[in-house]
């Protein structure tokens, strides 16, 4: 008997307004693609509300954008049913939580929830997590704070998918407005720099990664390494001490050497997607990023594969989220989870039909207008090579007969390229200038062969605050000069 707990990653859970205003949609996150007052992209200020409550992990958005639906299909095919069926032999609980909150608080909340579960006498507890959810599970396992709980001894396996074991520069790129939050208009720092919401900072690489002798991750204008946890580094980057201390505390509780010897760890990762590996100050006083194909688009390889001896790592080609929909990943995870009663793991035929020989993926789910979109095309098996193909960026719009009960979409090509297909084709196209939802479509001789997961184009900041992001200092003395905020400059101009 098995009790499977799934812990989603950042932005992977619904958020609702507890008391929506008249005419306002209760659901604030994820953004809607259909006509609604909350149609994507949503203002970042809405996500910063303290009155939002968490709903369920997001399976699919408006019948169009798959998030965790592929994992649902895998666990169902492996023999698991919803945890509400208390008499079932193999149950699955999807844990919904406020993904903006402090990870330590989330881990405690999950522990308290497990205290209430009525386990069968010999029921095994298995943890399955995506992205940031893997750090939450590791806090349960490695901090030592929960080993006295009655359910702790039941944990036998932990599966982390796309887990940033050593953090990521993605959140720092968002803080510096080099990246956007998919489906959100506005400065991401409004959320991730709010002391009430520390999860973003807790995804930054740990202090040990900025110690002398480590490969530099952040560089100042002179090419010297910046320690983001130091007072000077934090001031230069505009990071908040209180939130950095929350991150420091979280990393102090995570240590793979302290993992329980009775729990088997296994990691599944994507890869070969353009990912931020370095952030540096440019001579013009702006921050720039360096991308390499050593990561999954959100997390670099040195974080995805950071494990000790005895921890198995399975790697697949694919983006941070899109890897969940891959055939090879589905088979590998399904075989791990499959219960004895069902025999060999097999995905339903309907799901198998959606696994294509050609995959087209972006390196992110969100871009600013005209920001470069890094595109990768992967071939599986006997896919055709050397043929001429068309790759188009298509805008996703609700069709005239579409509604929330029966979503139906129309697709309009806005830009594209004509290239030859070959193994691991890579190219870059600028994101459309207009905000909204888009996808990539790959056609051969006019026939649609593959489509990407949808991505969002949204404004990185309001025009009035275009220079409000932290500037790279021109010299050592400039870092100490605090630039007035746009609001303060407007007040001064009126005097």
* N residues, the chain: 495
Which residue reads 């010897």 in tokens?
Answer: 261
3-class SS of residue 139: helix
Residue 273 in this model has a pLDDT that exceeds 90: yes
Mean of pLDDT values over 89-114: 97
DSSP 378-395: EE-SS---S-EEEEEEEE
pLDDT band at 347 (very low <50, low <70, confident <90, very high): confident
**Shortest CA distance to 96 belongs to which of 35, 145, 55, 143?**
55
Query: Chain centroid to CA 319: how far?
Result: 10
pTM of this structure = 0.89
Mean of pLDDT values over 107-131: 97
In this structure, the answer to whether residues 209 and 313 fall within a common structural domain is yes
Query: Which domain covers residue 484, as residue numbers?
Result: 463-494
Long-range contacts of 27-32 (CB under 8 A, 24+ apart): 27/55, 28/52, 30/58, 30/61, 30/65, 30/67, 30/183, 31/61, 31/183, 31/184, 31/456, 32/61, 32/62
CATH number, domain at 199? 3.40.50.1820
Beta carbons within 8 Å of 478's beta carbon, 6+ residues apart: none
Instruction: Pick the last residue of a domain from 291, 320, 352.
Output: 352
Rounded to whole angstroms, how far apart are CA atoms 31 and 62?
9
In this structure, the answer to whether residues 51 and 86 fall within a common structural domain is yes
In this structure, the answer to whether residues 173 and 281 fall within a common structural domain is yes
CB 149 within 8 A of CB 115: yes
In this structure, the answer to whether residues 335 and 364 fall within a common structural domain is no
In this structure, the answer to whether residues 215 and 297 fall within a common structural domain is yes
pLDDT at 467: 37
In this structure, the answer to whether residues 489 and 443 fall within a common structural domain is no
Going from the C-alpha of 73 to that of each of 13, 266, 352, the distances in angstroms are 18, 20, 10
- Mean pLDDT (the chain) is 87
Q: What is the pLDDT of residues 207-249, one digit of tens each?
A: 999 999 999 999 999 999 999 999 999 999 999 999 999 999 9
In this structure, the answer to whether residues 269 and 126 fall within a common structural domain is yes
Mean of pLDDT values over 377-391: 79
Rounded to whole angstroms, how far apart are CA atoms 470 and 229?
16
In this structure, the answer to whether residues 490 and 348 fall within a common structural domain is no
Beta carbons within 8 Å of 188's beta carbon, 6+ residues apart: 44, 174, 175, 177, 179, 180, 181, 200
Long-range contacts of 225-234 (CB under 8 A, 24+ apart): 228/172, 228/204, 232/479
Rounded to whole angstroms, how far apart are CA atoms 483 and 472?
12
Lowest mean pLDDT among 28-37, 168-177, 316-325: 28-37
- Total number of domains in the chain: 3
In this structure, the answer to whether residues 416 and 329 fall within a common structural domain is no
Instruction: Pick the last residue of a domain from 322, 352, 382.
Output: 352
Residue 140 in this model has a pLDDT that exceeds 60: yes
CATH number, domain at 407? 2.60.40.1930
Lowest mean pLDDT among 70-79, 380-389, 393-402: 380-389
DSSP 4-59: EEEE--TT-EEEEESSPPTT--SEEESPBSSSSTTBSSEEHHHHT-TTEEEEEEP-
In this structure, the answer to whether residues 452 and 478 fall within a common structural domain is no
Which residue reads 């002179």 in tokens?
Answer: 222
Mean of pLDDT values over 388-411: 82
Instruction: Pick the last residue of a domain from 336, 352, 368.
Output: 352
In this structure, the answer to whether residues 203 and 332 fall within a common structural domain is yes
pLDDT band at 21 (very low <50, low <70, confident <90, very high): confident
In this structure, the answer to whether residues 98 and 206 fall within a common structural domain is yes
């Amino acid at each position: 008997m098995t009790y499977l707990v799934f812990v989603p990653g950042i932005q992977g859970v619904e958020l609702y307004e507890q008391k929506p205003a008249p005419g306002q949609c209760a659901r604030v996150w994820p953004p809607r693609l259909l006509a609604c007052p909350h149609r994507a992209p949503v203002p970042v200020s809405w996500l910063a509300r303290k009155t939002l409550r968490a709903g369920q992990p997001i399976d699919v958005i408006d019948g169009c954008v798959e998030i965790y639906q592929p994992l649902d299909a895998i666990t169902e095919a492996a023999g698991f049913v919803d945890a509400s069926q208390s008499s079932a032999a193999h149950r699955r609980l999807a844990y919904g939580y406020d993904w903006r909150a402090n990870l330590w608080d989330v881990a405690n909340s999950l522990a308290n929830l497990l205290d209430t579960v009525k386990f069968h006498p010999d029921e095994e507890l298995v943890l399955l997590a995506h992205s940031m959810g893997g750090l939450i599970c590791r806090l349960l396992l490695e901090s030592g704070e929960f080993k006295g709980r009655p359910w702790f001894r039941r944990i036998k396996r932990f599966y982390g998918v796309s887990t940033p074991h050593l953090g990521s520069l993605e959140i720092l790129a968002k803080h510096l407005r080099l990246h956007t939050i998919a489906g959100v208009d506005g400065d991401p720092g409004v959320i991730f720099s709010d002391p009430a919401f520390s999860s973003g900072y807790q995804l930054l690489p740990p202090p040990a990664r900025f110690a002398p002798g480590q490969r530099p991750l952040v560089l100042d204008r002179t090419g010297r390494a910046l320690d983001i946890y130091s007072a000077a580094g934090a001031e230069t980057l505009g990071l908040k001490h209180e939130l950095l201390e929350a991150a420091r505390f979280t990393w102090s509780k995570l240590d793979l050497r302290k993992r329980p010897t009775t729990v088997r760890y296994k990691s599944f990762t994507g890869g070969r997607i353009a990912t931020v590996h370095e952030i540096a100050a440019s001579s013009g006083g702006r921050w720039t990023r360096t991308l390499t194909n050593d990561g999954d688009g959100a997390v670099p390889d040195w974080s995805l594969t950071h494990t000790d001896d005895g921890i198995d790592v399975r790697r697949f080609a694919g983006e941070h989220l899109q890897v969940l929909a891959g055939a090879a990943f589905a088979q590998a995870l399904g075989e791990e989870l499959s219960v004895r009663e069902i025999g060999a793991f097999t995905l339903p035929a309907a799901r198998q039909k959606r696994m294509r020989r050609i995959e087209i993926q972006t390196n992110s789910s969100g871009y600013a207008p005209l920001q470069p979109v890094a595109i990768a095309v992967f071939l599986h098996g006997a896919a055709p090579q050397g043929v001429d193909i068309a790759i188009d960026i298509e805008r996703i719009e609700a069709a005239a007969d579409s509604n929330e009960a029966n979503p139906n979409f129309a697709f309009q090509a806005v830009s594209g390229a004509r290239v030859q297909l070959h193994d691991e084709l890579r190219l870059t196209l600028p994101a459309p200038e207009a905000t909204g939802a888009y996808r990539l479509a790959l056609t051969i001789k006019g026939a649609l062969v593959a489509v990407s997961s949808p991505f969002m184009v949204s404004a990185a900041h309001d025009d009035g605050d275009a220079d409000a992001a932290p500037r790279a200092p021109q010299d050592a003395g400039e870092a100490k000069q605090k630039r007035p905020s746009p609001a303060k400059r407007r007040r001064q101009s009126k005097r």
